[in-house]
Structure 1
Amino acid sequence: MQPPLYQLKADFFRMLGHPVRIRVLELLQEGPLPVRDLLADIGVEPSNLSQQLAQLRRAGIVVSLRQGSTVRYALAGPDVADLLRAARRILTVLLADREQMLDQLRRSEVELDAS
């Protein structure tokens, strides 16, 4: 029996729930990159990056492209980049709301201190 769609979505988002995987996907939005460039930017151990890339490949989110002795990774399609942009927009709104709340708290503290 096929799991319900909401379970598949939860599994998908859980798979994305690692900072190294998110950073890899962000970097690959610019186009295919060799592992050495990913390592230089992310700054993790090669074995850790390899594990994260393997999970992204198994999920079908990234593909590996061999060019001679160099392996480059790329997003499997534009939908992942769209998802990351949507997440950025959502976080921008959430963080802006938090910043407004912090400003209100700071103003109320100043008003309390002045009284």
Structure 2
Amino acid sequence: MNQVVHRFKAEFFKTLAHPVRLAILEHLRSGEKSVNELQVLLGADQSTVSQQLARLRAGNLVDTRKEGTTVYYMIRDPLVFDLMDVAREIFNRQLISHQALLRQVSEEVPLP
């Protein structure tokens, strides 16, 4: 595959690779939200929320709509939720695998 395509994909995943951005996307799953609404939901200050929304917008993951002085953010492509759901399943499987390994280790009989 072409390096340009790899770079594009890497940038897409970098856009997702931040806890606040992931939390924002999860909150937008239920519909558009204003910056103020997201601040309350995230328990974060306005500058943090705005900075992360700007990154999501630059990565073409969210769109905006302005109503008076309020800017509302919404998901640009709902397929991002399918990706997040698949990632959650992968994480769950990894955690289950780690739990099984921890169980095996804890059940080992110590050598004399």
Fold in common (TM above 0.5): yes
State how far apart, in whole Å, the 2-side matches of 1:62 and 1:28 are. 9
State how far apart, in whole Å, the 2-side matches of 1:76 and 1:106 are. 47
> In the TM superposition, what is the alpha-carbon distance from 1:34 to its structure 2 partner?
1.8
Q: 1:39-50 alignment to 2 at 5 Å?
A: 39-50=39-50
State how far apart, in whole Å, the 1-side matches of 2:98 and 2:27 are. 27
Equivalent in the alignment of 1:19: 19
> In the TM superposition, what is the alpha-carbon distance from 1:3 to its structure 2 partner?
4.9
Which consecutive unaligned segments of at least 5 residues does structure 1 have?
none
Equivalent in the alignment of 2:51: 51
Secondary structure at the residue paired with 2:31?
A: coil
Letter in 2 for 1:94: Q
State how far apart, in whole Å, the 1-side matches of 2:4 and 2:58 are. 20
Equivalent in the alignment of 2:34: 34
Deviations 1:37-76 (A, max 9, x none): 2111212221111011011111110011223333221110
Q: 1:43-82 alignment to 2 at 5 Å?
A: 43-82=43-82
Equivalent in the alignment of 2:98: 98
TM-score (norm 2): 0.87
Which consecutive unaligned segments of at least 5 residues does structure 2 have?
none
Deviates more, 1:68-77 or 1:78-87: 68-77
State how far apart, in whole Å, the 2-side matches of 1:3 and 1:44 are. 37
Equivalent in the alignment of 1:112: 110
TM-score (norm 1): 0.85
> In the TM superposition, what is the alpha-carbon distance from 1:21 to its structure 2 partner?
0.6
* Aligned CA-pair RMSD: 1.9
How many percent of aligned residue pairs carry the same amino acid? 35
